[in-house]
Amino acid sequence: MAKSSISIPFFDVFKYALVGTFGVLSAYLLVALYSLTFVSIGFYLLNRYNKKNTELFKNLQFGQYIGLVFIFLGLLPYIQYFFISLMIEGGGYAFEQMINN
């Protein structure tokens, strides 16, 4: 492999940081693309198999259940944030109850 002709100090550090940043951004982009694909398929199935003149979640059909499964699969990467917020708020509430009693 050819040696870089640029001899600026810390140039390699900058290159590694830039490549690492693009790696992290591409990983987040893939997760977003996965989520968008599965949620949109699920929403399409919810609307496609909805009975005429009924609300969206009233009288669900089999195809709509499949759509709900797709939506759940699409939202799985973000379920960690739900549990994080649940534990933070639950812990704060439990601490307040211990202090006040």
Note the pLDDT tens digit of each residue in 14-43.
888 899 999 999 999 999 999 999 999 999
* Distant-in-sequence, close-in-space partners of 66: CB < 8 Å, separation ≥ 6: 45
pLDDT digits (tens, 9 = 90+) for 37-96: 999 999 999 999 988 888 888 888 899 999 999 999 999 999 999 899 999 999 999 999
At 8 the three-state DSSP class reads coil
Residue 77, in any domain of the structure: yes
Q: What is the pTM of this model?
A: 0.71
Residue 19, in any domain of the structure: yes
The domain tally of the chain equals 1
At 2 the three-state DSSP class reads coil
Structural domain span for residue 45: 11-100
